[in-house]
A = this chain, B = another copy of it.
Amino acid sequence: MPDVPPALESPPHRVQITEVGLRDGLQNEPVVLATEHKLALARALIAAGVREFEATSFVSPRAVPALADAAALVRTLRETPDLHLSALVPNVRGAERALEAGVDSVVLFVSASESHNAKNVNRSVAASLAGFEQVARLLEGSGVALRGAIATAFGCPFEGNVPVRAVTNIARRFAELGATHLSLGDTTGMATPPLVAERINHLREVVSGLPLTLHFHNTRGIGLANVMQGLALGVDRYESSIGGLGGCPFAPGASGNIASEDLAYLLEEMGIETGLELEGLIDAARLASEMMGRPLPAQVSKAGPRLALAECTAVATARG
């Protein structure tokens, strides 16, 4: 390995990757996976070292049929020891279902932009925040953690730029509600390195005690460039989906979440620990691709690890 400094200011030594493929990856896919297939994919991911899953969302099965098996999925995953299982909940009813199923943490989500929040949960940002109090009370003393997630934190597909203040105001509220983590969601791939730096720096002032997680989509191809910016600022929590599963209904043909195997490959090559094993992730990505019946956008699972060498035959190709 190189004997020169890594040039990024303060990259972390270890990064926690939360696998969101079972939730964010599957919720927009046209193929609805059977619970047993989701479990097979989860087992492949666990074999590759994944220990933290955003497993599902306790929303109305009518709204998101792909996640109608939320309770059964969490209950079965729960049988594997040492996993951290989180799930999104839109309201107190969802939180009750999530607790009953046995999650470790409940993720409350709201968009930083009014129009996306209206589109997503049919209410204002203020109404979403007000509803969170009931969930926070429910969680008190339950041993289940509350996590906050801010969608469209780097831009809104309907409104465009999202002021940093819209993000910090919500973050402050999550901190008051006792959230243990805050995830910034780049819902439709509008994050850029300067926006990442801006939001991180502001949040570290406003909610200094709240660990930040970055959740990027690769919609415009710069998901891992945004990770580089996060790493340069020392952020050590990222969310990704195996194979790059997922996508966005507002950007047809565009890529979904950043891919877990590409992210893990990048971090491993940078000497940053993830606890994940690349060959195992590639196996899981290939399984996911088979299940979805299409090639997924991730690259490492197609090209293979860096040192998976080809055989050299003697035909000159003159390719430069």
Which residues of A are interface residues toward B (Cβ below 8 A)?
1-9, 23-24, 27-28, 57, 59-60, 63-64, 88, 90, 107, 109, 115-116, 118-122, 149, 151, 155, 157-161, 164, 185, 187, 189-190, 192-195, 197-198, 201-202, 218-222, 224-225, 227-229, 232-233, 248-255, 259, 262, 265-266, 269-271, 295, 298-300, 302-304, 306-307, 309-320
Closest 4 CB pairs of A and B: A2-B198, A221-B299, A221-B262, A192-B269
A318 touches B7 (CB 8 A): no
A220 touches B151 (CB 8 A): no
A302 touches B253 (CB 8 A): yes
Shortest distance from the beta carbon of A19 to any chain B beta carbon, whole Å: 15
B2 touches A194 (CB 8 A): yes
Shortest distance from the beta carbon of A257 to any chain B beta carbon, whole Å: 12
B159 touches A90 (CB 8 A): no
Q: What is the count of identical protomers in the complex?
A: 2
Among the listed B24, B227, B304, B319, which residue makes an inter-chain contact with A251, where contact means beta carbons less than 8 Å apart? Answer: B304
Residues of B within 8 A of A160 (CB): 307, 309
Shortest distance from the beta carbon of A318 to any chain B beta carbon, whole Å: 4
> If the complex has contacts A2-B195, A197-B6, A198-B2, are A224 and B227 also in contact, measured as CB distance less than 8 A?
no
B120 touches A317 (CB 8 A): yes
Residues of B within 8 A of A27 (CB): 319-320
Q: How far is the CA of A300 from the CA of B217 in the complex (A)?
A: 12
